[in-house]
Structure formats: structure tokens, C-alpha cells
Chains A and B, each alone.
Chain A
Amino acid sequence: MSPPGSLQFCVRLLRRQLVLAVRRPIEIGNPLLFFAMVVALFPLGLGPAPDQLAGFAPGILWIIALLSNLLTSDAVFRSDFEDGSLEQLLLAPQPLFISVLAYIGAHWLITGLLLALVSPVFALMLNLPGSAVGTLVLSLLLGSGVLSLVGCIGAALTVGLKRGGMLISLLVLPLYMPVLIFGSAAVKAAVTGAAAGPYLAILGAMLCLAIALSPLAIAAGLRISIDA
């Protein structure tokens, strides 16, 4: 029997990752809970002035999305490393470039996509104008993809370390900055009625670049982590 093609294998891996995630619902719920908690804390800390909150809302929402992504990306390869599945993945005949896309895809689906979909509720809590909600969702959809791709580079490099969490932050936070800047700028533009399109286009371009390059870095990082 010949081994499956790389795309077929990628789909199989994606399905496996999603089934694993669904069987540990706490890992899906955690980022959402984190998002809800922090959003609920901001009005208490900043004072319940609706106008003021609306001004800060784009930045607040984007920073929380970024942090919740950072918190979860640490675990993408962790359990597969610990039980030996990662070694087997590295020995698979299919190219690692395609295979890791399944891991990233699964991570994005259960964090980025979910956050983007529920973000209108949180936007409402922070009094973000209704006209900017569409842009918020769109910018989170694009931006969280970049965050997942970049976060997985850090995860791949630190998966062999006992306490990789802090190191991940140091490694990937600088790469998160452009996403944060353009993501929140898109939402701010939408709030003031300016065109958000250019910012979204730049986020899209970052996403394309990240899809093309980060699997290379992730594959190399995983090989180094397994070798050590």
C-alpha cells in the first residue's frame, strides 16, 4: 500500500488534531474565557465612561487576542513531543512543510477563528461602534492566522524545553508587533470612518508571507528540538 499524498495526509492530521481538541474542551474554552475575563476587567480599571472605553476598544480587543494566542501556542506540539508522536511525524515520507500546516490550521480554528467569531459580543461590552464590528472580525480573522503561524515557530523551537513559555514570548512577541499595529489600526480607522481596506490588505499580505515562510522555520525548529 502506498503512503497517502501530502495533502491527504494533511487533512488526516487536521482531523486528528480537531478530534483531540474536541475531547479536551477545556483547551478550546480557555482562550475564550481569558478573553471574556480581561474584557470584563477593563471597564472596572478604566472607569465606566462609555466614550472613553470606545476609544480604547480597538487596542484592548487586539491586545487580548494577541495574548490569548500567545498563551495557547505553547501547547501546539507539546503533547505530541511528550508521547513520541512528533518523532514519527518527522519520519513520515510526506514533506513536513505540508504536515505542520495541519497543526497550525487546527490551532487557528480553535483559537483565532473562534475568537474572531465571538469578538462582536466583546466589542459590544466595550462600546465599540457597530460600524467597526465587521472590520474587527475581518482583521482578527486575518491577523490571528499570522499569530498562529508565527506562534508555532516559537512552539517548535521550545517544545524540547521544560519551561518554554517565557522563551516563546521573547522569541515571537517582536514578530507579533506588526500584526498588532496594523490590526488595531484597521479597527481604529473603521471607528473614525476612514478606509480600513489598506490596513486589512497589509494584514493579508503578512498572512501570505507567513504561510509561505513559517512552515519552513517550524519544520527546521521541530527537527532541531527532536535532535537535541
Chain B
Amino acid sequence: MVARTTIGTLIDQHLHAIDWSILIAYMLGMMAIGGFLVTRISGFKQYFLADGALTTPLLVCTLVSTYYELDVTFAVSEQGYYYGLVSWFWLSRPYYIAIIIGALLLAPRLKKFDCITLPDLLEQRYGKPTRIAGAAACFVYSLPITALAGMTIMFDMLGWKKGDALLISMGICAAYTAMGGLWADAISDTIQFVLMCVALAIAIPIALNWIGGFESFSVLPAEHMTATGGLRWGIILAWSVGALTVFVEPAFYQRIFAAKDSKSVIYAMLIGILLWAAYDWGVTIVGMIARVAVEKGLLTGDMEGKHALMAVCMQTLPIGLRGLFLGGVLAAAMSSTDTYSLLASGNLVYDIYRPLRKKPMSDKELILLTRIGIFAVLLFASWMSLMFHRITDAWVFMSGALASVVLVPALGAIFGKPPKLAGWSSACAGLVVYAAYHIVVAMYGEFDEEYESMVLRIGAFEAWREYAVLFALPVSAIGFGVGHVLGRKPT
């Protein structure tokens, strides 16, 4: 008989010395990677792009683990808990389609540009103002807010002191990334990749056995077993549009520019889709298992969805495997935190500060400032992470901002030779509409208790906060068209 458990109580007492040893060994291993690589970095391109030497297996590991920050590990299981299989079908699956298109169409073209970052590409086509606007949007998107929010949830549940635990994790993450740049990021990602995948592979059968197998899913609401989960199509569309960020995903661009050749990227992304799909499916199933456990009285009924994965795994895994699982969850957070703190720092130093400064910067200065920037970014992101109630809210806001400002200009730059005005007017139009929509909904809308989101109701029309990108993106496209007609054609 399994005891009924309250979230966040006594979980730390369940950690055995073996579990702690695994966690400490993992943390020390990450530091050792940074220390090993710091003596091998000599220029900014080597620091930020690993000298363009990444091969297929390294790319698979770094792409998969980076994209799986805790917004997936917790938010997909959160959605699986509340809504069921729709989480996989409409929150995750659109990304695979976007990744296939990205791998086959974008990667080969991008490799032909001599760029280090996405804003480099925007400047080549549209000039400096569009570069700065794009870099600012990339910076907002790259802030590791969701990863840090996920870590906070984890520490909260374990009963650890949140501030201390977050400081130690962030400190280790910042230290090895600052030391080794993309090399340290990519190699640590591979360890994190195998840890998070294997931990989940072990947890699924044990958790299924705990609730009595798939037959127990019959206690779930019928909508949980459908592809749409009974959700409004507007919400499903807003989730799916998030997949468009793959085409402007800064980590994706960085890894394409860092790849040995375009074939390595294509193979890596195609292999990665299998792993992404398996991971998403596994996490969704664990979310549903948590809901079954609540229905059966194995877990407390007032449990929040974002706790689903942790609650199930901590309740079911034996000593040793619990440490492996916690290492895996921490790895999922750290693999994204290191990548995005490096990218956000690069946005500030390389993409914004460097072009605005009159005096040219040496590689040594760039590396030093980027290293300092990593620590600053992490502090700023941890403060920002307190402003969002749900991880999904943060993710929808950040991905919406990136898509609204950068998507249309970036695709225009990759597939054509538009006038400079097209990129600038598109980025500005997207930004203005996206910001205005959020401000109007926040000022005049109301909080909906059922969906835990802001909505502005005008008669029968409902403007949900999540719809911002659905308005901003078409306006950004119109802005691009207007700029195309009015702008001077490039020679």
C-alpha cells in the first residue's frame, strides 16, 4: 500500500547517500569539463562557435538536451496532467514538422552565410537598426527564465532552501560555461542528454507499474485520451504557432554555424526528432500517470500540474535511481541554462554593445565581457522568473516576442534579397503590435480562473493573452510587404 503524499513535504528525507553522491559527482563533472576546456580557447569564434567543428553525435546531444529545458520536462507533463495527450499532439508535435523543414531547407542555406549569430545575418541584409531590434528580441527569448523557474519548482518540492540551491546550480552552470564557451556547453550537454533520457526511460515503466498499468487510464476524463483534449482551437493554434520559433531559434542558428558541415546538422536534427518525440511522449505519459494517481488517491488532490513529474518519480523510484532522476532533471535545466545564458550574453556583448561602440573590440575583450555577461544574465533571469505564475506563460511570452519581431525578417533574409526597409518595418510592426496587445489585455482584461490566464472579452469575442503572436505575426508580414514595395532594392 502506497502512502498518500503531500507535495513538498519530507522528500529530502528520501534522498540516500548514494543519491547525494550521484548529484555531487554530476556537479563536479560539469566543473571539470569547464576547467579542462579553458586552456584550449584562443579566439572568440572558438569560444562562441567551437571553431565550427561540431560533428553529428555532438550536435544530436547538444540540440536535444538544449531544447529540453524544464519548460518541456515540467510544462509538457503539466499539460499532460491537465489535458492529456493533446500535450504531445499540439504542444510538441508541431515542433517536429518545423524541425524537419528547418533541417532540410534552412540549414544548408545558413551554412553559406559567414555569420556567428542570427543578428549578424539580419545586419548583412537590413543594416544595423534591424540587427539591434533582432538582437533585443533574441535576448528576451534567450533569457533562461523557464529553466530557472523549473529549477525553483524542483528545489521547492525537495524542501531545499531555494535561494541557496539556485545559487549553487547557477554558479556551477555559469562557471563551466564562462570557462569553456560553446565547447563546454556542448560537451556538458552530452552528459546531461544521456542522464535525462535514461532517467526518464527507467522512470516510465516503474511509474506505470505503480498505478496498475494502462488499464488505470480509464479513470481519466475522456478528453484526456483525445488529440485535442477538449481545448479551444485558439489555444491549440497559439501552442502550434510557437513551433515557428524553430526557424529563428538562436540555439539552432548557433549550432548550425558551429557545425562541421550542413550534412552533420541535417543528420543530427533528423536523429534528434526521434529522441524529442520519445521524450515528449514519455513526459506526457508521466503527467497523465500523476493525474491517475490523484484520481486513485495515491497523490494529494490539490497537487498542481507543474509538480506532476517530480511527484510521480520521487514517489516511485528506489534509492540510487532517485539521485539519477534528480540529476536528469537538473541536467535538463542546466543544459538549457548554459546554452541560453551564453547566447543572451553574446546578444548583449557581440550583437548589441560591439556594433554600437566606436572602437573595435579584440577577441580577448569579447571573451572577457561575454564571460562576465553570463553571470549577469543568470542573475537577471532568476529575478524575471519570479514574474510568471506558470512556466508555460513565460515560454509563450518569450517565444511570441521572438517570432513577432524576427521570424519574417529572418526568413526574408535567408530566402531572398529584400530591401533594407522591409526588415526594419517588419521587425518594428511585429514588436509594436505584440507589445500593444499585451499592454491592452493586461490593462483592460480580466483573470480567468479556469484557464489561469488574462482575457479581454468584447461581446462574444475573447482576446486571450496567448493570442498576441497571432495578431503580431500577420502585421509583421504586412510590414515586410510594405517595406518591400517602398524600399530601395539592393544592388
Are A and B part of the same complex? no
Chain A residues engaging chain B, CB cutoff 8 angstroms = none
- Name B's A-contacting residues (CB within 8 A): none
